[in-house]
Structures are given as C-alpha cells and as structure tokens.
C-alpha cells in the first residue's frame, strides 16, 4: 500500500477578514464582460493552488512581521486587479454573467494555524492522504446568481513555515492570469519587506501589470451564448433527475463534483532532464514501429510517419505520465481499458491578431489527442500517445484555434464519456515559473495544485530544485492505483 501519514492534524481559524483595495484608489464601479473564453468555464470548479514557504521563526514574528506585510501588499496589489476583488454576477435582465467590482468589495482572507507535519507536506514521491491539502485551500463562495472571483488563505505552521492558498473562479481568470496575480502580490510584498515606501512598492513591471480590455477578443460567431446553451444541455444530460441543478439556466453554481479524497492519496513526481532524454530517445527510436496506429489518416503523413528532430518537454511529460496513469488504472480495474488525453493551450499568441501576454482573463482552449482509446494501455503506449500529442500540437500553428467549435464545443467530451473513456486532463504549466514567487522570505519549497483532486488530472510545474529543464507532476489517485503508478513510473525510466 502507498504510505501516508495517518497522524491526525488539526487546523485553527485565527482570523477571517476581507481585504479591499485602498479606498482612495477604488472609488468607481468596474464592470467586466466575459468573453467566450471565459464563458466556457462558467460552471467549472475553481482553480486551487497552495504555495508552501519555510519560515524558521517563532509565531510572534509571523503575526507581527509577515502577516501584516502580506495583508498590506495584498490590498496594494488589488488596486491593479480590481475585478479580482469583485464578484461574478448574473442579473435576471442580462443574457450573460459578468464581473463587477463595487467600491468596498474585497477578497475573503482566512488566516489559520495548523499542527500538521510541515516537512511531510513538502515530500516528493511518497504519497500522503489526499484530504490533507484541502485544509489549506480557501472555499470560494459560489451561489446561484453571485460568485466570488477569488479567495485566499494563509496558514501558519509554527516554527516551520506558512502556506498561501488561492482559489479563483475559472470564468474570471485562467492559470496564467492567476499566477500573474500571485507574482504581482509577491513583488509588492517583497518591496515592503525591503523597506520601500508604499508609493514605490506599488509599481509593477510591465509583464505583471494586468491588461483587462475585453475588446481585444472578438466573437463574430457569438460563441459565448453557444457555450452557455451547451452548459444547460450538458447539465440536463449529466443530471437528468436533479431539478435543482437543471431548472435555472442562469445559475452560477459550479458542477457538483466534489474532491475525490476518500481512499485517495496525493504525490508529486519529478522528471529530470535526463529522464526526459530517455523518454525522447525511446519514442523517436520507435516512431515508425507502428505506423498503422490510427494516427496516419493519409493527409498528414509527414507529421505521423517522419520522426521529428526533437520532442518538447510537454509532449514527453504528458505521454509518459498519461500512459503510466492509464496502465495503473487498468491494472487495478481490469475492465477500464479506454482512455483519452485532453489539454489546454494558451491562445494569446495564436489569435489573429495576437493579444498582449499580460491579458488578464481566460484565453485558453482545450484539445483532445487523436489517439485510439486502447493505445494508452498497450506495451508501446508512450510512443503512440506521444505521436498523437505531437500531431495535435503541430496543428496549433497552422489552424484557426477555434475552427468548428460552435458545432462541437461539448459534444466530444459527452461522446467520450458515453463510451466509457477515462479522460486524463492537465492543470498548470512548467512555464508559469511558480517556484520563483518570493514574497520576501524565500522561494516556495513546494507548490501543489489542489484542484487536481476533482478528476484524473496531472498538475504540472517546473522543477523547484533548480534542475533546469525538469518537470514536477502532481497526482491524486486511488491508493492502489498510486501504488502501481509509482512502480510503473520508476520502472519505465529504468528500462528505457
């Protein structure tokens, strides 16, 4: 069985408050429309991350020095990100929800203290109870017509460290935007720690200054309303007997998919540059061993049959980890043999014309990999899936990123679910640079994407140990599945 720490830990709520932008800087109502990129996620669960920082100081130092600077810098940061201090609302006379900030609005901040083993939470490879991370994640208030844009939690581990948990509504920001906010907050907090004045510390470098203008994203096909209708149809199909969920088409309540923490464990695995080179060598050397695997449809022969000169870290990581997950699930639950892989792509550079990199909102789109559902559990599954991911990523530079989505935005997912295909998803990115986020007391020791426990999802980040080119992969799996995954993951790297 996967090892886990069964020691009961407790968490004590120290303070619950609301942090608002400086009143003199936020005197007007700000309304922000949602684009079709936003509306696609309107019923999706929040994106939740936890940053763990070491701090070998007594609690008095934390409460007298650290916490006040975190609160002050949070307020100063929110003046740049006013929509994140507001709420998602859907008035009865509006055909679409939108974000609105009213003077006085603020972000819910929970301050807590935990007696959990801090070093245990920082561990790699060794699984721990999935429920443990939930203690450090703030709840995001989501009601029928009203939902918070963001909530935060700061948790002290006396004499060991502290964590910052963030929960953001996916219809308001994507992962890149929420990470930009955390980086901006850390930048301002670090300036305060270094003794700069509040006026000096509120200045942000260009890449951290958010760009909120929704006019840069065009929607000539009215995809926003199509996606809202898709959500209504999807709700009716998934919950046909639940009137509470399906009766109100203007509801902002998120999907009722609770975190899967019962009999589940969480672990983070590392793929070094050397590991990825091994996987790449194996994939490229076997590229043409199975040309008739369903990927070569005749119109893209070169991309499927001619080995590329190299493969990206993304392709190598996702193919290797997804196949290990599929084989582990299949090994425990023999009847589950069909799998798929879906990933999102940042579209900022891929729109015509491109939009600013510091655009704050959603600008990602999902893609399903064109590989047979049975390929994932085959002996050469990593090669087959890598070819599928490579083919899909290669198309991104040549095709309209949203071509045809008005006809099939949700259909693909629903069809795969009906076929009993287990879809492996992805959250985060090894390009976000989360391990460089320093509030003034050092860089994080560990960053967990808490929300991967709501499905079969891998959480990606760059290696936090300075191993350039490496990747961290976070997973939440059933106990037995995780045991087998660990074995497959290790053996696969030893034998390639």
3-state secondary structure 164-223: EEEEECCCCCCHHHHHHHHHHHHHHHHHHHCCCCHHHHCCCCHHHCCECCHHHCCCCCCH
Tell me: do 166 and 308 sit in the same domain: no
User: Which CA distances in Å does 476 have to 263, 374, 486?
Assistant: 10, 23, 12
Which of 246, 280, 314 lies at the terminal end of a domain, its last residue? Answer: 246
On whether residue 72 sits in a domain, the answer given is: yes
Q: What is the pLDDT of residue 37?
A: 96
Dump pLDDT digits (tens) for 286-339.
Answer: 999 865 444 444 444 444 578 999 999 999 999 999 999 999 999 999 888 899
On whether residue 256 sits in a domain, the answer given is: no
Range with lowest mean pLDDT among 147-151, 163-167, 299-303, 454-458: 299-303
CATH classification of the domain holding 56: 3.30.559.10
Tell me: do 229 and 284 sit in the same domain: no
Q: What is the pLDDT of residue 296?
A: 42
On whether residue 254 sits in a domain, the answer given is: no
User: Which CA distances in Å does 321 have to 167, 373, 411, 456?
Assistant: 26, 16, 26, 12
On whether residue 5 sits in a domain, the answer given is: no
Tell me: do 161 and 284 sit in the same domain: no
Range of the domain at 386: 264-494
Tell me: do 234 and 373 sit in the same domain: no
Q: What is the pLDDT of residue 1?
A: 41
Tell me: do 293 and 229 sit in the same domain: no
pLDDT-above-90 percentage for the chain:
74
Tell me: do 227 and 268 sit in the same domain: no
Average pLDDT over residues 441-458: 96
Which of 215, 246, 277 lies at the terminal end of a domain, its last residue? Answer: 246
Q: If pLDDT is split at 50, 70 and 90, which confidence band does 217 have?
A: very high
Tell me: do 226 and 364 sit in the same domain: no
Tell me: do 418 and 317 sit in the same domain: yes
Which of 199, 217, 246 lies at the terminal end of a domain, its last residue? Answer: 246
Q: What is the pLDDT of residue 250?
A: 86
What's the whole-number average pLDDT of the chain? 90
Q: Is 36 a catalytic residue?
A: no
Tell me: do 67 and 201 sit in the same domain: yes
Tell me: do 103 and 174 sit in the same domain: yes
What value does the CA radius of gyration of the chain take, rounded to a whole number of Å? 23
On whether residue 23 sits in a domain, the answer given is: yes
Q: d(Cα 254, Cα 139) in Å, to the nearest integer?
A: 13
Q: What is the pLDDT of residue 295?
A: 46
Tokens representing residue 207 in the block: 């890449």
On whether residue 421 sits in a domain, the answer given is: yes
On whether residue 417 sits in a domain, the answer given is: yes
Q: What is the pLDDT of residue 233?
A: 82
Tally of structural domains, the chain: 2
User: What is the 3-state secondary structure of the chain?
Assistant: CCCCCCCCCCEEEEEEEEECCCHHHCCCCEEEECCHHHHCCCCCCCEEEEEEEECCCCHHHHHHHHHHHHHHHHHHHHCCCHHHHCEEECCCCCCCCEEEECCCCCEEEEEEEECCCHHHHCCCCCCEECHHHHCCCCCCCECCCEEECEEEEEEEECCCEEEEEEEECCCCCCHHHHHHHHHHHHHHHHHHHCCCCHHHHCCCCHHHCCECCHHHCCCCCCHHHHHHHHHHHHHHHHCCCCHHHHCCCCCCCCCCCCCCCCCEEEEEEEECHHHHHHHHHHHHHCCCCCCCCCCCCCCCHHHHHCCCCCCCHHHHHHHHHHHHHHHHHHHHCCCCCCEEEEEEEECCCCCCCCCCCCECCCCEEEEECCCCCCHHHCCCHHHHHHHHHHHHHHHCCCCCCCCCHHHHCCHHHHHHHHCCCEEEEEEECCCCCHHHCCCCCCCCCEEEEHHHHHCCEEEEEECCCCCCCCEEEEEEEEHHHHHHHHHHHHHHHHCC
The CA-based diameter of the chain, rounded to the nearest angstrom, is: 68
- This prediction's pTM: 0.94
Name the catalytic one among 36, 170, 375, 483. 170
Dump pLDDT digits (tens) for 241-293.
Answer: 777 667 777 889 888 778 999 999 999 999 999 999 999 999 999 999 865 44
For tokens 């040309």, name the residue. Answer: 291
Q: Is 15 a catalytic residue?
A: no
Tell me: do 62 and 134 sit in the same domain: yes
Sign of CA dihedral 331, 333, 338, 340: negative
On whether residue 178 sits in a domain, the answer given is: yes
Dump pLDDT digits (tens) for 362-416.
Answer: 999 998 998 899 999 999 999 999 999 999 998 886 667 777 776 666 778 888 8
Q: What is the pLDDT of residue 345?
A: 93
Sign of CA dihedral 187, 192, 196, 201: positive
Q: What is the pLDDT of residue 398?
A: 60
Tell me: do 333 and 285 sit in the same domain: yes
Q: d(Cα 231, Cα 248) in Å, to the nearest integer?
A: 11
pLDDT-above-70 percentage for the chain:
92
């Amino acid at each position: 069985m996967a090892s886990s720490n069964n020691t009961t830990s407790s968490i004590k709520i120290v303070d619950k408050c609301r942090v608002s932008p400086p009143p003199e800087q936020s005197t007007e109502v700000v309304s922000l429309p949602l684009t079709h990129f936003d509306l696609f996620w309107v019923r999706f669960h929040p994106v939740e991350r936890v940053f763990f920082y070491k701090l070998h100081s007594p609690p008095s130092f934390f409460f007298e020095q650290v916490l006040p600077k975190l609160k002050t810098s949070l307020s100063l940061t929110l003046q740049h990100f006013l929509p994140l201090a507001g709420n998602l609302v859907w008035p009865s006379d509006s055909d679409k929800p939108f974000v609105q900030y009213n003077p006085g609005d603020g972000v819910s901040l929970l301050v807590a203290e935990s007696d959990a083993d801090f070093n245990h939470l920082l561990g790699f490879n060794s699984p721990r109870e999935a429920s443990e991370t939930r203690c450090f994640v703030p709840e995001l208030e989501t009601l029928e017509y009203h939902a918070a844009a963001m909530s935060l939690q700061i948790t002290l581990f006396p004499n060991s460290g502290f964590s910052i948990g963030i929960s953001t509504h996916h219809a308001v920001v994507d992962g890149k935007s929420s990470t930009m906010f955390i980086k901006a907050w850390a930048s301002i907090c670090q300036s305060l720690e270094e003794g700069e004045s509040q006026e000096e510390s509120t200045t942000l470098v260009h890449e951290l200054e958010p760009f909120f203008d929704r006019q840069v994203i065009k929607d000539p096909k009215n995809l926003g309303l199509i996606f809202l209708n898709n959500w209504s149809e999807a709700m009716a199909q998934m919950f046909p007997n639940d009137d509470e969920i399906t009766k109100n088409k203007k509801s902002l309540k998120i999907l009722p998919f609770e975190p899967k923490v019962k009999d589940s464990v969480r672990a983070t695995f590392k793929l070094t540059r050397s590991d990825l080179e091994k996987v790449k060598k194996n994939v490229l050397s076997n590229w043409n061993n199975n040309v008739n695997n369903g990927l070569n449809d005749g119109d893209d022969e070169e991309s499927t049959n001619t080995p590329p000169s190299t493969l990206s870290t993304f392709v190598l990581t996702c193919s290797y980890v997804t196949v290990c997950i599929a084989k582990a699930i299949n090994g425990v639950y023999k009847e589950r043999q069909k799998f798929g892989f879906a990933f999102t792509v940042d579209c900022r550079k891929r729109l015509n014309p491109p939009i600013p990199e510091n655009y704050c909102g959603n600008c990602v789109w999902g893609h399903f990999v064109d590989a047979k559902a049975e390929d994932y559990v085959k002996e050469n599954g990593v090669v087959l899936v890598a070819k599928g991911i490579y083919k899909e990523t290669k198309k991104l530079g040549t095709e309209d990123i949203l071509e045809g989505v008005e006809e099939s935005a949700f259909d693909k997912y629903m069809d795969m679910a009906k076929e009993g295909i287990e879809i492996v998803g992805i959250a985060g990115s090894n390009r976000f640079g989360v391990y460089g986020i320093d509030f003034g007391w050092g860089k994080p020791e560990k960053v967990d994407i808490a929300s991967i426990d709501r499905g079969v999802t891998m959480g990606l980040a760059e290696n936090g140990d300075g191993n350039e080119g490496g990747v961290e992969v976070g997973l939440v799996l059933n106990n037995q599945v995780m045991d087998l995954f660990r074995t497959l993951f290790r053996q696969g790297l030893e034998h390639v």
